[in-house]
Amino acid sequence: MTPAGLSLDAPLLLRQIHALGAIGHDAAQGGRTRIALTDADKAGRDQLVRWMRELDLDVRIDRVGNIFGILPAASGDGRPLMVGSHIDTVRNAGALDGCYGVLAGLAVARAYRQAGILPRRAIAVGAFTNEEGVRYQPDMMGSLVHAGGMAAQAALDAIGIDGTRLGDELARIGYAGDMEPGTLVPREYIELHIEQGPLLEAEDRLIGVVENLQGISWQRVTVTGVANHAGTTPTRLRHDAGYAAAACIAYLREQVVGAAPATTLATTGSLRFEPDVINVIPRKATFTVDLRDPDEGRLQAAEQRFADFLVALAAHEGVAIDTERLVRFQPVAFDPGLADRIEAAARRRGLPHMRMTSGAGHDAQMMARIAPSAMIFVPSREGISHNPREHTDDAQLILGAQVLLDVVQDCLAAH
């Protein structure tokens, strides 16, 4: 039912998702672990490359280990269309994060192969190195290098949390390719991914048309007060680092998020008290602040309101408050034309869909630096990911891949 009569081999796509998910699987924990450039990652890459070769794709590997399987164009020139994601995982992961987008890319190529036709432009299926950033920092490394945001040599010289050098591990597992990163500049980049959030499920939609990706602001806040006896120190003489931290968290939710458009998110995921004793007023509290918004102006406004609050709080409680910026990414706007094509494809198939923002980071945000890019989301049950309980119904996975195939054909028909 797709244009040009192409059809998706849904059962094979699902089998490949399960087969890839079996590599690095730990029956006791329930998940699989294929952290970048480990033996398990090598086993996953080997499987992916075998599948690419079965489809007679031209497999190319660049110096940082990004893998591309290229379905050639029917005739000569024109920049390729790229679909892709990553196949490395966090520890004890689900089977879908990243892998779904790469394997759906193979399913698109397979649809052409099974129909016996070639696309008007080449289709490259990409699997980027080290998207998760568990072992080597930064995350989204392969796509960042591909997009020119990091030198290949710097990536190769990255030292992991286990003391290893990325370039050495890449060579060890046989994925130090010779192609210069960034050689393949696509005309468009489309990434299909599970949502990793609860919105599609909550809104009862099947397809997320991802039109942008949130800006992220991470800070570590350290409050230094005075430790004192909980029973003998009157409230007016307290310099309570713990109360100050709590007041910040409450303020972020109630005043910053509460007063902002619903797009602004604030989270404190980590908090520690010192000395952390029941009857001692905390001397020190250290906590993180994760602020996100798809709009840079609103993100800055939230940061500013919080900064102003810290100044007033420090004076009021008689504590010192220091902040350290850990991460700051500006929002990424995806290509409106591509988003329109995704929305149109979902509409043609009669699938409930919604425009949305990606709350997590993805390779697509790096690719957006060098090519019109967009993402397609499918629902994540209960919003869970990075966990063996990560789940999307098979039917939802199939519909998402169909939309991807539709959009690819639509793009190729247009250009």
- Residues near a second copy, by CB under 8 A: 195-199, 202, 214, 216, 218, 226, 228-237, 240, 242-243, 245-250, 253, 257, 262, 265, 267-273, 275-282, 288, 290, 292, 326, 358-361, 382-386
Angle at CA of residue 247, ends 244 and 253, nearest 5°: 145
Residue 263 Cβ vs a second copy, minimum distance, rounded to whole Å: 9
- Residue 106 vs 223, nearer CB to a second copy: 223
- Residue 281 vs 338, nearer CB to a second copy: 281
Cα gap 241→250, rounded to integer Å: 14
CB 224 within 8 A of CB 319: yes
Three-state DSSP at 203 gives helix
With b meaning 16 or more CB within 10 Å and e meaning fewer, what string describes 204-231? Answer: ebbbbbbbbbbbbbbbebbbbbbbbeee
Residue 328 Cβ vs a second copy, minimum distance, rounded to whole Å: 14
Residue 327 Cβ vs a second copy, minimum distance, rounded to whole Å: 9
- Residue 284 vs 341, nearer CB to a second copy: 284
Residue 113 Cβ vs a second copy, minimum distance, rounded to whole Å: 35
CB 266 within 8 A of CB 234: no
Residue 246 Cβ vs a second copy, minimum distance, rounded to whole Å: 3
Q: Pairing state of beta strands 188-194 and 228-229?
A: unpaired
Q: Closest Cα partner for 24 from 106, 125, 134? A: 134
Residue 228 Cβ vs a second copy, minimum distance, rounded to whole Å: 5
- Residue 88 vs 390, nearer CB to a second copy: 390
24: left (phi over 0), alpha (psi -120 to 50) or beta: left
- Residue 164 vs 263, nearer CB to a second copy: 263
Residue 40 Cβ vs a second copy, minimum distance, rounded to whole Å: 22
| Number of Cβ atoms within 10 Å of the Cβ of 257 | 18
- Residue 75 vs 235, nearer CB to a second copy: 235
Q: Where are the beta strands (DSSP E) in 148-302?
A: 188-194, 207-213, 215-224, 228-229, 265-267, 271-274, 280-281, 284-293
- Residue 151 vs 161, nearer CB to a second copy: 161
Cα gap 284→245, rounded to integer Å: 9
- Residue 121 vs 292, nearer CB to a second copy: 292
Cα gap 49→147, rounded to integer Å: 22
- Residue 65 vs 242, nearer CB to a second copy: 242
Residue 198 Cβ vs a second copy, minimum distance, rounded to whole Å: 5
Residue 17 Cβ vs a second copy, minimum distance, rounded to whole Å: 21
- Residue 183 vs 270, nearer CB to a second copy: 270
CB 206 within 8 A of CB 378: yes
Q: What single letter denotes the amino acid at residue 171?
A: A
With b meaning 16 or more CB within 10 Å and e meaning fewer, what string describes 116-149? Answer: eeebbbbbbbbbbbbbbbbbbeebbbbbbbbbee
Residue 220 Cβ vs a second copy, minimum distance, rounded to whole Å: 8
CB 4 within 8 A of CB 115: yes
